[in-house]
Amino acid sequence: MPTPLFSANTGLKFANRPDLSKENQVENSPAKSSAPAQFALFTCQRGAENALKKELERRRPTWRFSYSRPGFLTFRLSESESLDKRLALDVPSLRLVFARSCAHSLGRVSARECSDAAGNFDVSKALVRVWELAASEFGNESRSAETARRLGRQIHTIARIHVYERDQFAVGVRGYEPGLTSSAYELHKRLYETAPKEFQNGFATDARKLDAPAEPGEICLDVVIVEENEWHVGFHRVSDFHSRYPGGLSPLDLPTDATSRAFLKFEEGLRWSEFPIEIDSRCVDIGASPGGGSQALLARGALVLGVDPAEIDPLVLAHPNFTHLRGKINQLRRKLFRKSRWFITDMNVAPVYTLDALEELVMRDDVSARGLLFTLKFFDWKFADDVPEYIRRVKSWGFNHVRARQLQFNRQEIMVAALKKPFVK
Ligand SMILES: C[S@@+](CC[C@H](N)C(=O)[O-])C[C@H]1O[C@@H](n2cnc3c(N)ncnc32)[C@H](O)[C@@H]1O
């Protein structure tokens, strides 16, 4: 995408960005308290805000919803937490399905704090302000890094800067795909170049690259571009696949020979779930047409049975490791799946139908599934309320590791990954 850079007098320019300054803006006044209030920042797919809000209200009933824009929410923590405790907070530990990223807030940078003589957002001042906020939590640690290292004491330094924008549209609308934007790359470059020396000393060697994956345990400074002139600054510690990438946005591209966009969600799902799919792993892809999900499996060397009444793309059909079982899943004889261990499913049906079909399959004595990776389609967002029940149901089939997440490449749907461990033969 061509890069719109900084405009001459004000801040960042956004390509095709609608004016959202008043849209869906909600703010609650924080409750009065003597300790400085702490906040957590979340991004999610546009449209999933309510689902995420309800999840947080369930998981953290003492936190208070504070502020939201489409694709972005903040919550006020019930009490002040130490840096170590704040570093332990992340999407996996909160078991959130609809959060794409989660960070602890250090503060907001807007025209209110950083304006020029004419009252416009002043980017140069804003860059300085971001580093002041970073220093408020990590400054002393970074300055004393060398001494601490010599004494063998653990220090908290910022290893890289994660810059990302909240989603500009609902996924799929006008072909929109969430991802790292040119504005995020540009702001990242400016922040990297203006970082004070004590922070630069602690940066990872590849921190110059916004999309370089962070290492587990590293601390990242988060700068969320909520508006052209409103950035929210925070931090998180890397703990899983998604938190390695700015805003949980991995730089996956659709290969030119991919037969469908579904390739991306299964590629992301396989990386996130860390399912050990390798050469000769026996997999079933239910709802396989035209074949994107199967391609993600075939690329790992798996043997794939693709179930679908519809046509499979000739490229996938011609693959020596692929077999098309033409028909609906409930019309096929179960003994066909006796040797299969991994089941991926992506049927364009209501969640309960997908769950019924999977249950019917995996509960049979002659089918021995190790893992399931499947989408649940929310034709209506009200299905989001039933996610805890869906997860309970999958666990009741004997899958003891069950996770669900709305992936970057999921549209109005979620991905569920379920494992039965230890694996049986
Ligand atoms: C969203 S498409 C799947 C895309 C595919 N996973 C890919 O990677 O390209 C949904 C598919 O589910 C199939 N489907 C719906 N109900 C089914 C059933 N009961 N058994 C098998 N396939 C089914 C449809 O025929 C359709 O091709």
Give residue-wise pLDDT tens across range 88-112.
888 878 889 999 999 999 999 999 9
pLDDT at 133: 96
Q: Are residues 291 and 223 in the same domain?
A: no
Cβ count within 10 A of residue 19: 8
Q: Which DSSP string corresponds to 22-75?
A: STT-EE-PPPP-SSPP-EEEEE--TT-HHHHHHHHHHH-TTSEEEEEETTEEEE
Residue found under tokens 């066909």: 336
CATH number of 190's domain: 3.30.2130.30
- Is residue 10 one of the residues assigned to a domain? no
Q: Are residues 298 and 392 in the same domain?
A: yes
Q: Are residues 71 and 135 in the same domain?
A: yes
Residue 175 is part of which domain span? 26-248
Which of 204, 221, 248 delimits the end of a domain? 248
- pLDDT tens profile 386-398: 999 999 999 999 9
Which of 248, 281, 304 delimits the end of a domain? 248
pLDDT at 24: 43
- Among the atoms of ligand 1, which is closest to the Cα of residue 353? 19
Q: Are residues 221 and 300 in the same domain?
A: no
- Among the atoms of ligand 1, which is closest to the Cα of residue 307? 21
Q: Are residues 36 and 89 in the same domain?
A: yes
- Region 184-191 average pLDDT: 98
- Region 201-224 average pLDDT: 96
Rounded Cα distance, 247 and 221, in Å = 11
Task: Kindly give the interhelix angle for 123-143 and 182-194, rounded to the nearest 10 degrees.
Answer: 50
Q: How many CA atoms lie within 13 A of 206 on its CB side?
A: 9
pLDDT at 81: 85
pLDDT at 87: 86
Calculate what percentage of the chain has a pLDDT beyond 90. 76
- pLDDT tens profile 334-358: 899 999 999 999 999 999 999 999 9
Res 33 pLDDT > 60: no
Res 142 pLDDT > 80: no
Residue found under tokens 């399912």: 275
pLDDT at 155: 74
Q: Are residues 271 and 233 in the same domain?
A: no
Distances 410 to 25, 173, 194 between C-alpha atoms, Å: 25, 13, 36
Rounded Cα distance, 252 and 241, in Å = 13
- Is residue 319 one of the residues assigned to a domain? yes
Res 250 pLDDT > 70: yes
- Among the atoms of ligand 1, which is closest to the Cα of residue 328? 20
Cβ partners under 8 Å of residue 20, min gap 6? 69, 70, 227
pLDDT at 153: 61
Q: How far apart are the CA of 288 and the centre of ligand 1, in A?
A: 5
**Count of structural domains, the chain:** 2
Q: Are residues 46 and 138 in the same domain?
A: yes
Instruction: Provide the token pair at 283.
Output: 């997999």
- Is residue 373 one of the residues assigned to a domain? yes
Calculate what percentage of the chain has a pLDDT beyond 70. 88
Q: How far apart are the CA of 308 and the centre of ligand 1, in A?
A: 6
pLDDT at 16: 38
- Region 61-70 average pLDDT: 95
Res 11 pLDDT > 60: no
pLDDT at 249: 97
- Is residue 107 one of the residues assigned to a domain? yes
Q: How far apart are the CA of 293 and the centre of ligand 1, in A?
A: 10
Res 218 pLDDT > 50: yes
- Is residue 378 one of the residues assigned to a domain? yes
- Is residue 290 one of the residues assigned to a domain? yes
Q: Are residues 208 and 354 in the same domain?
A: no
310 close to ligand 1 (CB < 6 Angstrom) = yes
308 close to ligand 1 (CB < 6 Angstrom) = yes
- Reported as a pLDDT band with limits 50, 70 and 90, residue 174 is confident
Q: Are residues 191 and 239 in the same domain?
A: yes
- In degrees and rounded to multiples of 5, residue 341 shows phi and psi of -120, -25
Q: Are residues 151 and 208 in the same domain?
A: yes
- Among the atoms of ligand 1, which is closest to the Cα of residue 313? 9
Model confidence pTM above 0.75: yes
Res 252 pLDDT > 50: yes
CATH number of 358's domain: 3.40.50.150
- Is residue 192 one of the residues assigned to a domain? yes
- Reported as a pLDDT band with limits 50, 70 and 90, residue 241 is very high
Res 332 pLDDT > 90: yes
Q: How far apart are the CA of 422 and the centre of ligand 1, in A?
A: 30
- Is residue 13 one of the residues assigned to a domain? no
Average pLDDT of the chain is: 89
Q: Are residues 133 and 277 in the same domain?
A: no
287 close to ligand 1 (CB < 6 Angstrom) = yes
219 close to ligand 1 (CB < 6 Angstrom) = no
- Reported as a pLDDT band with limits 50, 70 and 90, residue 30 is very low
Which of 248, 278, 303 delimits the end of a domain? 248
Q: Are residues 101 and 229 in the same domain?
A: yes
